[in-house]
Amino acid sequence: MSSSVFNHPFLSGLLGDEELEPYFSAENDISAMLHFESALALGLADAELVSKDIANSATAKIKDFTPDLDVLKAATARDGVVVPDLVRQLRAHCGDSEGAVHFGATSQDVVDTSLILRLFPCLEILETRLISIDTIFQILIDKHGEKPLMGRTRMQAALPLTVADRISNWRSPLSTHLVRLDEIKPRLLQGQFGGAVGTLNKLGDKATIVRKRLARELSLEFTDSNWHTRRDGLVEFSNWLSMLSGSIGKIGKDIVLMNQNEFEEIKLSDVGGSSAMPHKKNPVKAETLMSLARFNATQISAMHHTLLHEQERSGAAWTLEWMVLPQMIITTGNSLGTLRDLLNSIDQLGK
């Protein structure tokens, strides 16, 4: 059952991403949120805000905690965020050690940190694909690079160039996107820890100690500020996602055009069939790259609107992020995977 193409029984074959999707499951999210709570318990003990025994008991309890998802769903409808009820259930589960659960933290610390923890493997997947695509480009250049190709401007034949010229135009922005990712990463991959209004008011001068342990347990940087109200890290990342799928959309568009019957500038082994015309060989993967690019080019607008995040926490803006960002990540992942498959299916390039 799915209004979303990303986890739809058959449309996800075209538009989903099986490698990335799991990171956005409730299970994976909850697991990361519990990881945060465990790390926090240990941090509270380090800061002598709870005893080591209670902290250890809490982390042990957290390990075998399974929340009641139906209750979480109803509670999320009421509270706008899953954490209050997750913490309530967790505290009940922890019994005597409940004092080590969530003390000093707030919902946003848990939700945002969980997201960032899951972005690590997502970025690795995206990066790996980007790098493997660069290799494929080199293989294509080696194989077809010197063949002639009509250069085209404003949708008219212009002057001849080579296949290598065209491929270089496809490849160069992708290389730059790797550079950009390196710049973005340290800004993006920051834990969130601020407490109720971002001031860690409950921790007083112990905040640094707790934060230190959080960082160690979660292998994640935590600066001495937080980003409750500044979402530019996530927006910058979204920009990167959409620039990436946009650069790939250009390749898709070019391949769709090269593949027109009258052009015969490319030969693809992986094409789609038609229900009405057996002779059709549709450049489905290349078309899909254009859809994905335009999808992200639309979503990016919502992400920029989330920057208007009022006061110390905006329910309205934060919720909008949840609706958009995971979709952008999956879309970009699919875009990379589909490009890789498309490039690998090129039998001939140039004319």
Within residues 328-347, the interface with a copy of itself by CB under 8 A covers: 329-330
CA 266, distance to chain mean position in Å, is 32
Minimum distance, C-beta of residue 139 to a copy of itself, in the bound complex (Å)? 20
86-145 positions binding a copy of itself, by CB under 8 A: 87, 102, 105-107, 110
User: Of 326, 336, 343, 350, which lies in the binding site for a copy of itself, with binding defined by CB under 8 A?
Assistant: 326
Nearer of residues 4 and 348 to a copy of itself, judged by Cβ: 4
Angle between the N-to-C axes of helices 83-94 and 52-63, in degrees from 0 to 180, rounded to the nearest 10: 110
State whether the Cα torsion 182-186-191-194 is positive or negative: negative
221-280 positions binding a copy of itself, by CB under 8 A: 225, 228-230, 232, 235-236, 239, 242-243, 246-247, 249-250, 252-254, 256-257, 259-263, 270-277, 280
Minimum distance, C-beta of residue 118 to a copy of itself, in the bound complex (Å)? 11
Which among 123, 131, 122 has a CA at the least distance from the CA of 181?
Answer: 123
State whether the Cα torsion 320-326-328-331 is positive or negative: negative
- Quick one: which H or E segment has residue 214? helix 207-218
Nearer of residues 15 and 140 to a copy of itself, judged by Cβ: 15
Total Cβ atoms within 10 A of residue 155: 6
User: Of 163, 293, 336, 343, which lies in the binding site for a copy of itself, with binding defined by CB under 8 A?
Assistant: 293
Residue with the two structure tokens 């969130």: 192
How far apart are alpha carbons 107 and 86 in whole angstroms? 10
User: Of 161, 178, 189, 215, which lies in the binding site for a copy of itself, with binding defined by CB under 8 A?
Assistant: 161
Kindly write out the interface string for residues 183-202 of this chain, putting x where it contacts a copy of itself by CB under 8 A and - elsewhere. x---x-------xxxxx-x-
Instruction: Please name every residue paired with 272 in a beta bridge, in sequence order, or none if there are none.
Output: 282
Nearer of residues 61 and 88 to a copy of itself, judged by Cβ: 88
Residue 64 in the binding site for a copy of itself (CB under 8 A): no
